[in-house]
Amino acid sequence: MDPIDMMTTDYNCEYLGLSRLCLMENAGKSLSDEVANLSTFKFSKPVKIIIFTGSGGNGGDGFVAARHLLNRGFEVEVYALNTLDEIKSDDALINLEILMNMEPRISRLSVDFIKDSSDLDKLDFDSNQEYIVLDCLLGTGIKGKLRTKVRKTVELINEINGLKIAIDVPSGLDPLTGEISDIAVDADYTVSFHKIKTGVKLAGEEKTGGVITCDIGIPIEAELFVEGGDLLRLKNRSKDSHKGNNGKVLIVGGSKDYYGAPAISAKAAIATGVDL
């Protein structure tokens, strides 16, 4: 499933009445389940959970996972690369604020904001402590070279002595091509929500680690039926475009007496901006 497919499916869920907030809750809960399972099989003593989060839905999944892992008795440290004002996802902001409300009441939780790259230099992780590190930095809509703060965070994640788990796609790996332009999280596992993303499949386990797919409750109808989310696939026409820029459609159907369906299909194609 490529990034556009996933974005379309998310929007279609909303048209079916399934909110993104609900999907985020399901994703975070599923992630916490996988982390708990891996901690049981991979470690003989208690582990500390380190979560690095970005400004989008990927970060929101991490905030939800933190809450559920706390309920399971884990000690959790959250490092947000964005302040409250910089969080782009309203649903992620809701879940971050929940964590911040919990923090004064729970000694096993800490939430810190990484305002600039120099803050990363102040972080110190005990070499004698067992860690599980969650990469919740970048989602499936991000590509290209990493910004300085994100790049330094990826370098830090790779340096920590612990089990690294990437969410959907290891940060730094192109979610469509599977290529790494600069540097990427060296993940031991990648947890993919709903379906494996195209870039993860193309990259292979050498770049992604073991791949775990989690069901987050997306109904099959969100992929089968055309809903509002499918409008994302339509391209905006440039003012200087010509008839060779926006695609062609060949319609096969009908007969001498029954030509209504091809005519309607042709009108629909024209309405969406097809050239020929």
Domain with CATH 3.40.50.10260 in the chain: 19-214
DSSP 132: E
pLDDT-derived band at 265 (thresholds 50, 70, 90) equals confident
- The answer to whether residues 131 and 152 touch, using CB atoms and an 8 Å cutoff, is no
DSSP 127: T
- What is the Cβ-side half-sphere exposure of residue 196, based on CA atoms within 13 angstroms? 17
Strand partners, 79: 52, 112
- The answer to whether residues 79 and 51 touch, using CB atoms and an 8 Å cutoff, is yes
Q: pLDDT of 50-82, one tens digit each?
A: 999 999 999 999 999 999 999 999 999 999 999
Name the fold adopted by 19-214: Rossmann fold (3.40.50)
Strand partners, 227: none
Query: Which position has the higher pLDDT, 241 or 11?
Result: 11
Helices (H), the chain: 3-15, 20-42, 57-71, 90-102, 117-121, 148-159, 198-203, 205-208, 221-224, 260-272
Q: pLDDT of 126-166, one tens digit each?
A: 988 999 999 999 987 777 788 999 999 999 999 999 999 99
What is the spatial distance between Cα 240 and Cα 219, in angstroms, rounded to a whole number? 40
What is the spatial distance between Cα 11 and Cα 84, in angstroms, rounded to a whole number? 24
What's the pLDDT at 53? 97
What is the spatial distance between Cα 51 and Cα 111, in angstroms, rounded to a whole number? 10
Q: pLDDT of 2-56, one tens digit each?
A: 888 888 888 888 888 999 999 999 999 999 999 999 999 999 888 999 999 999 9
DSSP code string of 213-258? EE-----THHHHS--GGGGGGSPPPPTT--TTTS---------SS-
